[in-house]
Amino acid sequence: MLVNTTAGRAVRLAALFLALGAPAAVRAQFSGASIDFVPPGGVQEGASVSLRATFNSGVPPAYAYVFIRPIGQLAYLPLVLRINGNGLFGELPAAMLRAPGIEYYLSVTDIDNQTVTLPAVAPDASPLRLPVSPPLGAFALTPVYPDEG
């Protein structure tokens, strides 16, 4: 049954686009999607790092990841980010944070199955970097007493 309303025509048009393999009209909204994120500063080995980002789009996020690897390695490890509304939250595990640092990027896929990454272009080849310092060396204090006499 066809409904003769503007909404009905939009639904039929979207169904036609999908049937023909053309991108749906809602994807035009996606061109303005972005991820707001303030990268953490350098850290020391053994410390965990919390991540917080915001997904800006007219379409809600479905799932999100941070892909992480030690500097100099080829493969990334995907870590799931928690989603709360448009907020993305996660933690880089302390076990992964070793000197000289890590490379990482964020990836968010919305409910229309469109993906946005940060960095936006070639994130796996040009990732963000987090410098990691080696732990401070252990030291001991030795009391020094003035000479008696």
Report how far Cα 131 is from the mean position of its chain's Cα atoms. 17
Token output for 79 = 């870590």
What's the whole-number mean pLDDT along residues 90-106?
95
What lies within 8 Å, CB to CB, of 51 at 6+ separation is 37, 40, 66, 81, 88, 89, 90, 91, 92, 106
What lies within 8 Å, CB to CB, of 83 at 6+ separation is 61, 63, 64, 89
**What is the full DSSP assignment across 77-135?**
EEEEEEEETTEEEEEE-GGG--TTEEEEEEEEEETTS-EEEESSS-TTTS-EEEEEEPP
Instruction: Give this prediction's pTM.
Output: 0.70
What's the whole-number mean pLDDT along residues 2-25?
33
Report how far Cα 72 is from the mean position of its chain's Cα atoms. 20
Taking alpha carbons only, the member of 61, 11, 74 closest to residue 33 is: 61
More confident residue, 70 or 24: 70
Q: How far is CA 68 from CA 11, 110, 121, in A?
A: 40, 21, 17
In tens, the pLDDT along 31-79 reads: 579 999 999 988 999 898 999 999 999 899 999 999 999 999 999 999 9
Taking alpha carbons only, the member of 52, 104, 95 closest to residue 77 is: 104
- Rounded to 5 degrees, what angle do the CA atoms 122, 124, 128 make? 95
